[in-house]
Amino acid sequence: MSGPAGTPEPPLRIVVADDQASVREGLAAMLGMLPGIEVVAAAADGEQAVEAVADWHPDAILLDLRMPVLDGVEATRRLAEQHPDVAVVVLTTYADDASVLSALQAGARSYITKDATRDDIARALRSAVAGYSVLDPAVQHVLLAAAATGPEQDHEPACPSGGRPPDGLTRREAEILAMMARGMANPDIAAELYLSAATVKSHINRIFAKTGSPDRAAAIRYARDHDLL
């Protein structure tokens, strides 16, 4: 690829952000071997990702959603506000409706899963820098479902105990936690709420993180202690 008068196009400058060192280093090495891409920095959490973009002024950032200190959605929101010229490409294992909609609403330009090939990732980065969106097929399915039913948060039920749920739980998460405390298994919760099994699992993972629960039993104790039944 060449620029004006046949001069080579400068490489895309990329920041990679993932809390798992092996994934982060693997992505940086893989992308660094591709023509026209230069990995200028790597970050282990969302806060480092925002700082790396401020320091290096890349063309794009390849960003995981589940990271410590500052999660990927909030990092995306800050990047969209502070560095709107930097394309945010989400690369994550999660393709549930809440994750997809939150990331895209925060300002992510593209959303792909970790099943993507090296060429898929490179294509998503180049397209995002050019101003186009690339969405994983699973993500497209989620968006079509959301368009048909409306965003989940628009019809979330009230917190079972009334008022706002504690510790940053959403109303949907509080409802699922209450159902867990009543002894319902994941497939039963999914059927009751018309959600996919993957979406329920993602909600439960966020419940564990927000409530500091290492397992289901601890989350159920939390629900009882906070009158969420």
Question: One digit per residue, pLDDT tens: the chain, 229 residues?
Answer: 455 555 667 899 999 999 999 999 999 999 999 989 999 999 999 999 999 999 999 999 999 988 888 889 899 989 999 999 999 999 988 777 677 888 888 889 999 988 888 999 999 999 999 988 888 877 776 666 665 555 444 444 445 545 667 888 888 888 899 999 999 999 888 888 877 777 788 788 888 888 888 889 999 999 999 888 7
Q: Which residues pair with 42 in a beta bridge?
A: 16
Q: Are 207 and 174 in contact (CB under 8 A)?
A: no
Q: What stretches of the chain show up as alpha helix (H) in DSSP? A: 21-32, 46-56, 72-82, 97-106, 118-129, 137-149, 171-181, 186-193, 197-211, 216-225
CATH 3.40.50.2300 placement within the chain: 4-145
Rounded Cα gap, residues 140 and 92, in angstroms: 15
The CATH class of 156-225 is: mainly alpha
| Residue whose pair of structure tokens reads 């709107």 in the numeric block | 84
Strand, coil or helix: 135: strand
Tell me the residue type at 72: G
The count of C-alpha atoms lying within 13 angstroms of the C-alpha of 48, restricted to the half-sphere facing its C-beta, is: 17
166-187 burial, b at 16+ Cβ within 10 Å, e below that, comes to: beebbbbbbbbbbbbbeeeebe
80-107 burial, b at 16+ Cβ within 10 Å, e below that, comes to: beebeebbbbbbbebbbbbbbbbbbebb
Cα R_g (the chain), whole angstroms: 19
Q: What are phi and psi of 3, to 5 degrees?
A: -95, -155
**Residues found in the chain:** 229
DSSP state of 9: P
CATH topology (fold) of 4-145 = Rossmann fold (3.40.50)
**How much is the pLDDT for 100?**
82
| Residue whose pair of structure tokens reads 């994550």 in the numeric block | 92
Rounded Cα gap, residues 53 and 79, in angstroms: 8
**How much is the pLDDT for 149?**
54
CATH 1.10.10.10 placement within the chain: 156-225
